[in-house]
Amino acid sequence: MTDIINFVFQRGDRKGRLRPVNSNDWAQIVGWWNNPDVRHLYDVHFVNQTFSDAEKWFLKETGEQDRKPRSFVIEVDIDGKWLPVGTAELYSERPSHNSVEFGFLIGDKEWWGKGIGTEIAKKMVAYGFKLGYHRIGAVSAAYNTRSMNTLQKAGFQIEGIRKSYVLRDGQYHDQTLMSVVKEG
Ligand SMILES: CC(C)(COP(=O)(O)OP(=O)(O)OC[C@H]1O[C@@H](n2cnc3c(N)ncnc32)[C@H](O)[C@@H]1OP(=O)(O)O)[C@@H](O)C(=O)NCCC(=O)NCCS
């Protein structure tokens, strides 16, 4: 099928794929956004979001659905069945500058630290460059070291800090700005 991006993780032992988001995914996505483990680390906008917020965000932020998809569900192969475990998207496109932002989340922490994030970040960067973007940005709360390490493994470099940009549980935190720029 077109628009599916396959990947392997855990030293090539396991299979995963990125498949375009569809409306049947909204409830699952909202569940991930509202999971306190994820919410602590993921983007500040996604606090107590609803089903229709998910739909609006994906349609508005990732573009019309009549072109190549920008938002994907991450799935892993469990005995021949695809289990959704998170999302990966290119959003906040700036068409006149050929730039876009990359975001990812794995919604159940059981799946963290298995190499999925690294593989999908690499695949999404390659896909973004193939779509014609010149620059792909990403942001992380500065305390989210796993996210920053994952992005660096996929070629992103730290380009700056926004001071006290994230208010989380009554505390202000810096946000790290990162990017990967196409060579040539
Ligand atoms: C961020 C996220 C997508 C990373 O995906 P992942 O599959 O867990 O990451 P990986 O297993 O590929 O790990 C990549 C690197 O992160 C680093 N890392 C792993 N665990 C870590 C930890 N507990 N603390 C700090 N760094 C860690 C390592 O450098 C690792 O590479 P290595 O295994 O070769 O040493 C995932 O953890 C997640 O969804 N977290 C919650 C939501 C979130 O933070 N989203 C990003 C917001 S910007």
Residues of the chain falling short of pLDDT 70: 1, 43-48, 63-65
> Residue 155 Cα, ligand 1 centroid: separation in angstroms?
14
Local structure of 70: helix, strand or coil: coil
Our answer on whether the CB atom of 85 is closer than 6 Å to any ligand 1 atom is no
H helix count then E strand count, the chain:
5, 8
Residue 181's pLDDT is 98
DSSP state, 50? -
Residue 147's pLDDT is 97
What's the pTM value of the predicted model, to 2 decimals?
0.94
Our answer on whether the CB atom of 153 is closer than 6 Å to any ligand 1 atom is yes
- What's the Rg (C-alpha) of the chain? 16
Distance CA 31, CA 94 (A): 29
Pocket test for ligand 1, best of 9, 42, 101, 112 (most atoms within 8 A of CB): 112
For residue 19, give the nearest of 38, 5, 36 by alpha carbon: 5
> Residue 105 Cα, ligand 1 centroid: separation in angstroms?
10
Domains of the chain: 5-181 (3.40.630.30)
* DSSP H or E stretch at residue 39: helix 36-39
Distance CA 181, CA 184 (A): 9
> Residue 117 Cα, ligand 1 centroid: separation in angstroms?
6
Our answer on whether the CB atom of 87 is closer than 6 Å to any ligand 1 atom is no
Beta-bridged to residue 162, according to DSSP, are 175
